Each structure stands twice: as C-alpha cells, then as structure tokens.
Amino acid sequence: MRFVIRRLALFAVALFGISLVVFVALRILPGDVASIMAGLNSPPERVAALREQLGLNRSLPAQYADWVSALCHGDFGTSVLTGRSVGAQVGARAQVTFPLITLGLLIAMALGIPLGCAAALARKPAVRAAFHVVAIIGGSVPALWGGLLMILLFSRGSGLIAVFPSQGFPQAGWSDPGAAMMSLILPACTVGIIVGAGLMRYTRAALAQTAQSDAVAMAMACGMTRTQAILRVGLRLATAQLVSVIGLTFAEMITGVMVIENLFALPGIGAGLITDVGNRDLIAVQSELFMLAAFFLAIGLIVDLLHRVLDPRLQSAGDNAEVNA
C-alpha cells in the first residue's frame, strides 16, 4: 500500500515536472514566435493580434497558469493554424495510429512469443545460435530502411510483388475499412517485425530464467517433460514480466512509429506532431507533447501496479526492499 501511494505521488510530481519542462522548452524559442508564425512581411497588427491570441503578451507565470488550468478542465487549446481544437485533432490522428500499432503489436506477438519459446526450448547450440542471430538481425534494421524494403518488395507501382498501396491513407478514413486496412498492412508488418525481434529476445530471456526455477524442476520431477514444464509452468511464471514488457512496448510504439508514419504518409499522431513542430504551432505542440508524456507516465504507472497484481511475490519483496533501502 505504501508503494501505491508513493507511486501515485510521484506520478503527480512527474506530471507537474513534465508540464513545466514542456512549457519552458517552448518559451525559450529563439525569436518571436508570433512573428515567425505570421510569416515574413506580415503587418505589425497581424503579429500583435497573433500575440494576443496566443496569450504571449502576458507574463510567463500567467501563461503557464492559464494553460494548466485549461488542461485540468480537459481543454487542450486551439491550434492557431488550423483553427481546430487540439483534442479533436489528436483524436482524429489516433484513429490512424492506434489501429496501426495494435496491428503491429499483434504481428509482433505472433512472431516474437512463439519464436522466443522455441529459442528457449532449443537445446542444440547451433539452433540456439541461429535463433539468437535472427533476433539480433530483426532488431538491428533501421525502421526507415525496413519500411523502404517493404515498399520495394510489396507495393503497387515499384514493388516486385505489387499488392499493397505504397503510401497514404484513404481520404474516406475508416468508412472504407477495406482500403484503410490495406494501407496499414505494410507499415504494420514493418513495425511488427522490428518489435517482434525485441519481444522474441525478452520471451527467450524470461523463459530461460524461469526454466532454472524450482517450480520448473518440481514440475519435471512430477513427470512433465522439459518442454511441458517450461511451457506450462515456466511461461506462467514469466507472464507478469511479459505483460509489463508488452504494455510498455505498446505505449512506446505510439511515438516509435513516427518514422514509419512519415515514410508511409499516414496522418497519425507522430507524423502530425512532427508537422506541428515544423509549423511552430505553439499551442498544439505544447498540448500534444504534454498529452503524450502524461500518457506514457500513466502507462508506466498502470504497468507497475499491474505487475504487482500479477506477481504476488513482488509485494512482499517490495516491502522488504523498502525496509532495506
């Protein structure tokens, strides 16, 4: 219980810290943001109006207080360039990013977990080494390059096996599910293979660790074969670890697919954020960065708490550690 309270308190402190960091990072921009946004040769009245609109003519603490109190009311501000609310803008982008990373994670799990189990079960050194090399190569390919190879191999137009559209997301969005899905397959495969390689290493390492545990030895003593014992007992013991890794991976993929979204011209969260940074869309960038950071902190919190629920051994261990620390 002490752990939960401490963790929650730190979550609040970290949120505050991140909001401060984001705010300061955006305010120490060299030059006058308003005149950059208004463009060259724009009349001074336009710049002044923009300053007024952005609230830049007020003191920094006042600006910060305004922003935070709006955030607390669920108001993420309005993008000055598009005139749309930042919340709605992010919501629209999430409709591309979340299907993409869900599909990618499913592919990664379908590849990574069975391969990881196979690698842990393999006994011949040559086979183990082969699995190891596969995992390393899969994790060493730059996402950009992997995506390019996918385009070269499988896209309509330039691909050797022309099946999938090479870039873009249908204008109609999810009202045409077939076309939308088709445009997500290549990027999801690229992400899935790269993430899957990492997942494979984790699965192998976690299983190898539990394979040496007393529980697995006990199961084998009770008559299970090594394969049975590792898959039934070892995998169960490793579940807590794997769930937290998969949870963190899923969260990381939101920004991790930034490069892929850019390459495949998908209007997702990451690609949109990069565009906003390029446009110096102050309010949008500020709120989006904060939203993402808050989201990651929340995921970290949930995973930590979930981990303790799934693995009761940690609770007592954690209490002991606190006494020792």
Partner 1 sequence: MSNMTETSNTTDTTTTLTERNERKNELPRNAAEVTTTATRRRKPLIVVRSMWSHTEGRFALIVMAVWLAVSLISLIWTPYSLLATDGYHVWAKPSAAHILGTDGTGADVLSWLMAGSRTNLLIVILTIACAAAFGLLLVAAMVSRHSALAGASVVAVDALISIPTVLLALILAVPLGASIMVIVVACGFGYGLNLARVARPQALLAARSAYVEAALWSGASSLRVFVGHVLPNIMPVMLVQLSLSAGTAVLAESGLTYLGIGVPSGVPSWGHSLATSVKFINVYPLTVLWPGLIVTVVVIALNLLGDALGDAADPLANTQLRVVSKRAGTNPAGDKGSAA
Q: Does residue 316 belong to the site contacting partner 1 (CB under 8 A)? A: no
Q: Identity (one letter) of the amino acid at 311?
A: D
Give the nearest distance from C-beta 81 to partner 1 in angstroms. 16
Q: Does residue 297 belong to the site contacting partner 1 (CB under 8 A)? A: yes
Q: Does residue 292 belong to the site contacting partner 1 (CB under 8 A)? A: yes
Q: Which of 42, 209, 262, 279 is the binder for partner 1 (CB under 8 A)?
A: 262
* 215 CA to centre of own chain: 34
Q: Which of 20, 127, 163, 277 is the binder for partner 1 (CB under 8 A)?
A: 277
Q: Which of 48, 118, 293, 306 is the binder for partner 1 (CB under 8 A)?
A: 293
List all residues 6 or more positions away from 251 whose beta carbon is below 8 Å from its beta carbon: 295, 296, 299, 300
Q: Does residue 6 belong to the site contacting partner 1 (CB under 8 A)? A: yes
Q: Does residue 30 belong to the site contacting partner 1 (CB under 8 A)? A: yes
Structure tokens at 237: 């013991």
Query: Is 169 exposed, middle or buried (CB count within 10 Å of its CB: 0-12, 13-18, 19+)?
Result: buried
Residue among 230 and 261 whose Cβ is closer to partner 1: 261
Chain position carrying tokens 């976690």: 206
Task: Tell me the three state secondary structure of residue 85.
Answer: strand
Q: Identity (one letter) of the amino acid at 123?
A: R
Window of 22-30, 99-107, 119-127, 168-176 that interacts with partner 1 by CB under 8 A: 22-30
- Phi/psi at 78 (nearest 5 deg)? -120, 130
Task: Tell me the three state secondary structure of residue 155.
Answer: strand
Looking from the CA of 15 toward its CB, the CA atoms found within 13 Å total: 18
Q: State the Cα angle at 226 between 221 and 232, rounded to 5°.
A: 90
**Which residue from 236, 241, 247 is spatially nearest to 302, judged by alpha carbons?**
247
Residues in contact with partner 1, total (CB under 8 A)? 58
Residue among 106 and 136 whose Cβ is closer to partner 1: 136
Residues 121-160 that bind partner 1 (CB under 8 A): 132, 136-137, 139-145, 148-149, 151-152, 157-158
Q: Does residue 256 belong to the site contacting partner 1 (CB under 8 A)? A: yes
Q: Does residue 54 belong to the site contacting partner 1 (CB under 8 A)? A: no
**Which residue from 266, 252, 219, 268 is spatially nearest to 91, judged by alpha carbons?**
268
Residue ranges that bind partner 1, judged by CB under 8 A: 6-7, 10-11, 14, 18, 21-22, 25-26, 28-30, 132, 136-137, 139-145, 148-149, 151-152, 157-158, 166, 248, 251-252, 255-256, 258-259, 262-263, 270, 273-274, 277-278, 285, 289, 292-293, 296-297, 299-301, 303-304, 322, 324-325
